[in-house]
Structure 1
């Protein structure tokens, strides 16, 4: 029996070209700490090619859904990923689709006047 809900409709999303993180000693940034996690790095790698749901990411990086959800929340709060779509499972459950927020992350030391994160 076919579901009334689409499972994986196409996602029309293009990340920003670049996000900059400025390390200048005046304001703390959590981005480097968040990126020090192997799981966070694997999640970013899994999102490099296409947007995915938390469960798709968990399968791709061979981690628990709970662990992936924790890291997705941290990456989202750091503006490294974005929720770009909502898909529905065959049972009608809403699933958030995540994508990279930017194609490149640049770490700058000192105040450049241009803070993206």
Structure 2
């Protein structure tokens, strides 16, 4: 059964191959914000699409079959939760500058607890 977060299990990936593993310890408010951002099928689809390649809002809207406004809403939530970030800009065919988004980290472990124990 697939999990909430998209993953790529086609090959073994070690921290040396793909960057450092980031462990995120969350307060109750942070955990709520993260879980709220990931509770939507659309948010998870957007995050999965961004894992394939960075994209602008218009590209994401087409990729996940939803409106620009809906993608902007979910991108804002994912950005506030620290899961996506602005990765650059590109220009549309009409010459408009578009912000390109990408996932913030390749590997993320989330610990929702008041304290970390060893």
TM-score by length of 2: 0.72
The count of aligned residue pairs is 97
Paired residue secondary structure (1:82):
strand
Which structure is higher in RCO with an 8 Å CA cutoff and minimum separation 6? 1
Gaps of at least 5 residues in structure 2 are 1-17
- The 3 A distance-change label for structure 1 pair 70 and 23 is same
More helix by share: 2
In the alignment, structure 1 segments of 5+ residues that lack a partner are 1-14
- 1:86: which partner in 2? 89
Q: Which runs of 4+ in 1 moved over 3 A?
A: 15-21
What TM-score, normalized by structure 1, do the two folds share?
0.72
- Pairwise CA RMSD: 2.1
Alpha-carbon separation, structure 1, partners of 2:90 and 2:97: 6
